[in-house]
Structures are given as structure tokens and as C-alpha cells.
A = this chain, B = another copy of it.
Amino acid sequence: MSKRGFASDNNAGVHPAILEAMASANEGHAIAYGDDPLTMRTTMRMKEIFGKESEIFFVFIGTAANVLGLNAATQSHNAIICAETAHINVDECGAPEKFTACKLLPVATPNGKLTIEEVKKHMHGIGFEHHVQPRVISITQSTELGTLYTLDEIREICSYAHANNMLVHMDGARIANAAVAMDVGFYEMTGGAGVDLLSFGGTKNGMMYGEAIVFFDPQMASVFKYQRKQGMQLASKMRYISAQFAAYLENDLWKENALHANRMAQKLNEAVKDIPGVTVTQKVESNAVFAIIPPELTPRLQEHYFFYEWDEDRSEVRWMCSFDTTEEDIEDFAGLLRSMST
């Protein structure tokens, strides 16, 4: 299974520059639990990106970034509004409920993007003690369906949230893919647009492990160091997470990787969209291609390339491109599909 596939950007390995940075950090002793110089430097670097007021914390994975971030933003009687397809809603085995005790209020969406109109359907019973009280709107950028919120859409959601005494969380597991696709900076798309807290991921874009939580309002982070430790997310040998982020942000490695993955998705889209029996179902805006294909082809294709069915009932599949996907991979895969389809 060492061959590259289209199952997940999590299946890709680690970018060599990241691995090198980790090896370079492996020298002598460093104070554990984040009080080392490399962690301090990397944190400062990220504060340059996200604003001096921001507070940055590293955790192990995206699920933890989402859950601990949401936990810091809520009390247990609150509710979190999110798209039905959100990772926090369907892919974290109830970790948000377990850790925050909040209820998630899902919003049906055709394209992974929630709209204020749909959010409003959950905005009742405010002040009524029998109901959970909505406190956070959580959006994913790029979404689980590979689509993008425009800057205006993000700003509008943030304005609506703030006007209704709510906060906005962004799950940025693939924020690099969004940033390069829209050609805007990380801050512009997050804190600059009104986002209150961000899960900033890199693992799907060439890192090994480690995710950052960015609080744009430092008040929200006032006891976060305890919450991270209690949440079992304080790394002892923190320097190796910091080394990854340092390398990821240096020399625009994140950008290079994300641009490449997005480009491969575009290429894949181009290569398959006119194959008979294939319908691309979502706008290809980042590194994902969703398509309906003839059901009998799925297992046959999977013998050659691993990927997941997204919606069995309609025979919809998901193909993810990674920083290490090659043009040959695309050509070979699309060629295979074309040959099977005709």
C-alpha cells in the first residue's frame, strides 16, 4: 500500500523539509512541555501571522484542536451550530459532546457551506432555560466537500454571529488549500474577517502531526493551558511539533504544497469530467474532487487506487489530492477510469 492513492491527504507522507527540520531539532536537551526556545520562536512567528493579540497553542491533532477550542469558547449548556457534514459532527466519534457537553445543531447543506438562513432555524428559545443556547457557529475552510466560503461569506457569518452574541470557529484542517485557492493571507481569511478561533492544521498538507489552536481574543485563552493539559494534548517533547510548524511556514512550504495539491485536483477534474457516466458533483475549489461514477466501477478502480465512497446510495466517491500527488498519478488514474467507462 505504499503506492499513492486518492483516499485522503492523510495518507500522504511527510514533506522532506519537515522531516529535516525535526531531525535538526534533535540536539541536546530542551525543556519539556513547550518551554523550549524553538517553541517560543515558532509561536512568535505565528503571532506575526495571526496578530499580536492572538494566542497560539499546539496540540496533537485536528480533532483535538476543534474540540479543545470549542470547549474554551463554550459552557456546557451552549450549542454549536455547524454544517451537517462538518468533521466535528460526523467524524470525531462524539468527541465534541464528550468533552464540551454541548449539543451540536447540524445544518443541512448541499455543498458543505452553511448559510445564515439555515442557521436562523436554530436560533430560537434564546434565554429560555429549557433549550440549549447557541454560542458558536463552526465553519470549515475549505469545507469537507472541497468548497470554499468567500471572504464576504465569512465576514457575513461573523457579523451575524457577533450580533447574536455568538462566536465563530473555523476548522482549518485544510486552510492552506483555501488560502492559496483564494489567494488571501491566513489572517485575512480568519481573524481579519471576524473569526474568533481557528484550528490551524498542517498534517493534511505535509506535516507529520501537530495542529495549532489560534485564539484571536486572548481572553478566551486565559485558562487554556490547563484545559489543554486536562484534555491530554500537551506534548512533552514539544520541540518536534514546533520544528514542523517552523519549517511549514518557512519559505512558503505550506503554499507550495497546497498549490500543488489544488492544481492536481483541477487536473483530475479536467481529466474525468467528460468521461461518460462520470459527474463531478461539487465545484472543485481546493484539493478534492467529488464525483458520481457508475457503481460497478468503484471496486474495480479501488483495486488500483485506494479511495473512499462518500455516498453509497448515489454512488458518489471522493478523490483527494495531496502535496505529493504527481501528474502521472492523475493521468494513470483518469486513463484507467476512462478505459473502464467506455
User: Interface of A with B (CB < 8 Å)?
Assistant: 1-5, 7-8, 10-14, 16, 19, 22-23, 25-33, 36-37, 60-64, 67-68, 75-77, 79, 90-95, 97-99, 101-104, 124-125, 129-133, 203-204, 208-209, 223, 225-237, 240, 306, 312, 322, 324
Q: Given contacts A103-B97, A209-B240, A237-B203, is CB(A129)–CB(B27) below 8 Å?
A: no
- A311 → chain B, closest Cβ, in Å? 9
What copy number does this chain have within its complex?
4
**CB distance A130 to B229 under 8 Å?**
yes
- A82 → chain B, closest Cβ, in Å? 12
Q: Given contacts A14-B237, A95-B231, is CB(A30)–CB(B7) below 8 Å?
A: no
Cα distance A19–B229 when bound, in Å?
26
A14: which B residues are within 8 A, CB to CB? 26, 237, 240
Q: Given contacts A92-B130, A93-B130, A130-B93, is CB(A232)–CB(B64) below 8 Å?
A: yes
A132: which B residues are within 8 A, CB to CB? 93-94
Q: Given contacts A2-B28, A93-B131, A94-B76, is CB(A232)–CB(B231) below 8 Å?
A: yes
Among candidates B11, B99, B133, residue contacting A30 with C-beta atoms closer than 8 Å: B11
**CB distance A1 to B30 under 8 Å?**
yes
A232: which B residues are within 8 A, CB to CB? 60-61, 63-64, 67-68, 92, 95, 99, 231-233
Cα distance A125–B103 when bound, in Å?
20
